[in-house]
Amino acid sequence: MNPKEYKYTQEHEWICPEPENKGKVGITDYAQSQLGDVVFVDLPPPGSQVEHLKKMGEIESVKAVSDLFAPVSGRVLEINQAVINEPALVNQDPYGDGWLVRLELSNPSELDALMDSDKYDEFVSRLNEEGSE
């Protein structure tokens, strides 16, 4: 389910590496299902700096607010205006049209600290087990 070529954080963000040290960032399917219907996204403005695993924004559903953490450090190149206008995209297509920001990575080696898709699948299975206890 989770795209093989993406990398994942423990806070359920993904990053899809792109050529020239760039990357697209979003939240995972697990995250969107936990959150419920997304009603608002608060993203860092283009040009701003973000830091590896530090809070860079917020995602709101009707009854909850979730912090959005930067998977890697870098500069924000663009944000997904479509999601700003239609937050439902995050629920409908979290790995595609529901992407949030595009970054220029300042330290690509940070990608190695993240989980690959197999590890993330395991991580989510464990969470699901704990949840049903």
Residues within the interface to other proteins (CB under 8 A): 37, 39-40, 60-65, 87-88
Whether residue 100 contacts residue 78, with contact meaning beta carbons closer than 8 Å, is answered with no
Q: Rounded to the nearest whole angstrom, what is the least distance from the CB of residue 132 to other proteins in the complex?
A: 8
CB nearer to other proteins: give 76 or 83.
83
Which strand (E) or helix (H) includes residue 90? helix 88-92
Residue 14 makes CB contacts below 8 A (sequence gap 6+) with 2, 3, 6, 7, 8, 25, 26, 27, 28, 71, 95
Q: Rounded to the nearest whole angstrom, what is the least distance from the CB of residue 60 to other proteins in the complex?
A: 5
CB nearer to other proteins: give 4 or 63.
63
CB nearer to other proteins: give 18 or 40.
40
Q: Rounded to the nearest whole angstrom, what is the least distance from the CB of residue 87 to other proteins in the complex?
A: 6
Q: Rounded to the nearest whole angstrom, what is the least distance from the CB of residue 58 to other proteins in the complex?
A: 9
Q: Rounded to the nearest whole angstrom, what is the least distance from the CB of residue 126 to other proteins in the complex?
A: 18
DSSP for 5-69 reads T-EE-TTSEEEEEETTTEEEEEE-HHHHHHH-SEEEEE-PPTT-EE-TTSEEEEEEESS-EEEEE
CB nearer to other proteins: give 59 or 115.
59
CB nearer to other proteins: give 85 or 109.
85
Strands 74-79 and 49-50: antiparallel
